[in-house]
Amino acid sequence: MHSLHRRIAPLALALIAAAPALAQWNYPPTRTVDASDTYFGKTYADPYRWLENLKADDTKAWFKAQAALTDGLLAKIPAREALAREWMEMDRLQPAKYGDIMYENGRVFYKKTLGGENVGKLYWREGWKGAEQLLFDPTTYKAGVVTTIENISPSVDGKRIVLGLSAGGAEFSELRVMDVDSRALLPEKIYPSYGPMGWTLDSTAFFYDAGKVTDIKSLGIELNRKTRLHRLGTAVATDADFFSDETNPELGIEPKEFPQAGVDESYPDYLVASVSTVQNEMRMFYAPISEMGGPKIAWNVLCRPSDNLVRGIEFMGDSVYAVTHTGAPRYKLVRTSVAHPDWAHAATILPEAADSITALAKSRHFLFVVYSNGVVDRVVRYDPATGKSSEVALPGSGSVDVSCPDWRTDNCIVSITAWIKPKTLYDYDALTGEFRKSLFNSDVAYPGFENLVTEEVEVPGHDGAMIPLSIIYKKGIPRDGSNSCILEGYGAYGISYTPAFSVRRSVALRGVVVAYAHPRGGSEKGEDWYRGGYKTTKPNTWKDYISCAEYLVAKGYTSPAKLGGVGTSAGGILISRAITERPDLFGAAICNVGCANAMRMEFTSNGPANIPEFGTVRDPVECRALYEMDGVQHVKKGVSYPAVMCVGGWNDPRVSAWEPGKFAAALQAASTSGKPVLMKVNYNNGHFTEEKIVTFENFAGQFAFLLWQTGHPDFQPAGK
C-alpha cells in the first residue's frame, strides 16, 4: 500500500503500572504527561503524547531501552535464529525471482534476485531471448550501506534508465540516471523522491515525484507533493514544476493529495495526470500532448471520485475503459469516449459477476480483466474490435496476475500462486491462447510443504455475515486445542488478503496452525465488503477477526492460551482492538508497524492522505469512529491482557514508530496478567524492506515471541 503507496478512559487508568509485570520484566521507566484533546465536548487523555517526538533525546532513549529489553529476551530463544536460517536455506532453493519486467525499444529490463541473495540486482537483455547482462548491482553503490532498488523507469528509446535507490527500509529514494550501453551513472542526483513517473516520448526528460521539504522525518514531507520534469544535462534546481497545486490552482489540489503526471507511451496523443490519496475512486485529468510545449497546460477532467472508477483504467482507440462500482458492488467494466468522457452514461462492457474484478491489463489488441472470489482468480479476455469476451483457460489455479510489458504485441506474462504453492510465471500468447513456462520462471519444490494442507471456510460473524477464513496446517495434527496458532488479519483500503506463497509458512511444519482472516474492510466479497469495515462501520473489522478466532477455538484447531494474533500496518487497528475487546481470547499478539493510535494518525506525515479511509477528528461522527478504532484509548487498568509485542520501524514513513510505542507503554502500565509487553524497534527497517536478511530476522522474532508465549516446546527460552 502507499500502498501505500497510516480516550475516554480516565487518565488514571493508564497511569498506574501493574507491579507484578514491572517486577518480572523490568520495563524501562515510562513517564506520563498531562496531555489531552477535547473534541465535541469529550476529552481524550493522552499521557504518552511525549513519545510522539522521535527527535527528542528522552524519546530516543526510551525506544532504545525498550529495544534492548526486547532484543535481550528474544535472543534467549534459540529457535528464533534457527527459523530465520531455515527460511534463508529455503530461499536458496529458488534459482531466481524476477520483478519489474519492462520492455522498451527492443530491450528488456528487470530485477532479479537469486536464491539466498539479500537484495535484487538490475539486468537487461537485447530482445526477450538475448544474453542476460548485469546492469546495476546495488550492493556496490555505497560502501557499508545496504542499498535497494525501489523502482526503475527505462527511457522510450531504451538507452537510459532512472533508478530509485534507498536504504534501511526508507521509501523515499535517491534518483540516479544510468546510460545502459556504458553502465555509467550520469551526474544528476535527486533526493528525496517517491520515484520516477516515466519519460517524455523523445527520451530527453523524465517526470518524477518531488516535495517542498527534504527532511523525510518532517511532518510536511508528504504534503504539497508535485510532479517535476527533469531534462538530462540540466541542473536539478532548474527542473520545471510540471503538475502541482502551485502550477494548477484551478484544479483545487489539496495539500494531502499526490499529483502525478506523464505520458502513456501506448497512447501518446495525450498527457495524463491524477491526484490521489488512499481513496480508491480515481480523480484524473488529461490534455493533448501538443500542449506540453505551451506556457500552461489546460487540463480536462477525465474522471471525478463521484464517477466511482477503481482498480484500473486503460485507453484503447477512441475509447477509455475503466472498472466501476456504480450499480455493481462486485464491479463491472465500462467504456466511454476519450474525446467526451461521460461516465454517467458509459456503456457496460462486462457486467457485474458473482466474483469481483480485481485488476485490468492491456496488450496490443485485448483487455484482460482479473476476477477473484477471494481465493481463486480467473481471467476474461475482451476484444474491443469485435466486442467479444472469453474466459482464459489458465494452466493453474490460485491468485493470478497479468502483465503485458510490450504493449506493441499480445504477448503477456501471467503469474499464478497459492498459500503453499510457489509462484509460477507463464508466457501467454493472447492471440493463440497458448501458455508456456516463462523465460523468467524457475520451478522449485520446498521440502515438507507437500505435508501441508489448506482449508477455505466461512465463519458466522457477530451479525450473521459469513467471514472467509483460510487455514493452513500439517496433515494429521490433532483437533484438541493443543496447537499453537498464528492468526493474521488486515481489513482496510479494500485490499483483499489473497493467497500468495511464502517460505515463512514452513512454521506450519512444526505443528503450528497458520490462519488468515478476511474481515470486512477488505474486498474479498466486493465493494459492500469493503464499506462494511470503513470509518463508522470499522468495528466489523475486528469483530469479524474475533469471530474467526472463536471458530478456530471451537473447532479444536487451537485454544485461547495457544492463539497468537497478528495485525500489520492498518491491521494494527484490527489487532489492538481485538485484544482490548477480547483479551481472554488470545495468548499473545503482535502489533506490527501497526496503527494503534488512530485518533492521532492524521497528525503524522502520512496521516492526511489516510483521512478518506479512516476519518478525521474534526468531524463529530468520524471522531467517534476513530475513538472506537483506537487501541491506545481502550487500554484499561487491571485487565489481564495477553502477551504483546509491538514492532516499529524507525525509518517508517507510513506508521510512525510511536503508534505501536504508545500502545506498548499503555499496556505495560495496565496489564495484570504478568505476561510480557515488549516494544521491538527495527532501526534497520521502515514499514518493510526488500532485504531478506532483515525481513527474515524480523518475522522470525515475531513468530518466536508468539510461539514462546503460546507454549510451543521448540520456542521456549534457553535455561527456562
Q: DSSP assignment of 538-560, as one string?
A: THHHHHHHHHHHHHHHHTTS--G
Q: Which of 125, 405, 314 is nearest to 413 (CA)?
A: 405
Contact by Cβ (8 Å): 518, 545: no
State the burial class of residue 332 (Cβ atoms within 10 Å of its Cβ: 0-12, 13-18, 19+).
buried
pLDDT of residue 720: 53
Query: Angle 186-191-194 (CA atoms, 0-180°, nearest 5)?
Result: 110
Distances (CA, A) of 45 to 10, 17, 392: 7, 16, 56
Of the candidates 213, 277, 221, the one whose C-alpha atom is nearest the C-alpha of residue 605 is 221
Task: Please provide the CATH number assigned to the domain covering 11-85+453-715.
Answer: 3.40.50.1820
Separation of alpha carbons 482 and 654, rounded Å = 37
C-alpha to C-alpha distance for 329 and 401, rounded to whole angstroms: 22
According to DSSP, the β-strands at 513-517 and 485-489 are: parallel
Rounded Cα distance, 310 and 628, in Å: 28
For the chain, residues with pLDDT lower than 70 are 1-23, 719-720
C-alpha cell at 491: 481489513
Can you tell me whether residue 583 is helix, strand or coil? helix
Closest CA to 91 of 603, 715, 696: 696
The phi, psi pair for 616, rounded to 5°, reads -135, 145
pLDDT of residue 20: 37
Cell of 296: 500552461
CA dist 36 and 47 (Å) reads 7
Residue pointed to by grid coordinates 504485441: 409
Asked if 290 and 16 count as a contact pair (C-beta separation under 8 A), the reply is: no
Q: Is the peptide bond before 192 cis (omega within 30 degrees of 0)?
A: yes
CA distance 605 to 464: 38
pLDDT of res. 2 = 32
Euclidean distance between CA atoms 682 and 705, whole angstroms: 15
Query: In terms of CATH architecture, what is 98-263?
Result: 7 Propeller (2.130)
Q: Where are the domains of the chain?
A: 11-85+453-715, 98-263
Strand order in the sheet with 377-383: 356-362, 367-372, 377-383, 388-391
Q: Grid coordinates standing for 12?
A: 488514571
Contact of 171 with 148, CB cutoff 8 Å: no
Q: What is the per-residue pLDDT for 258?
A: 97
CB 253 within 8 A of CB 259: yes
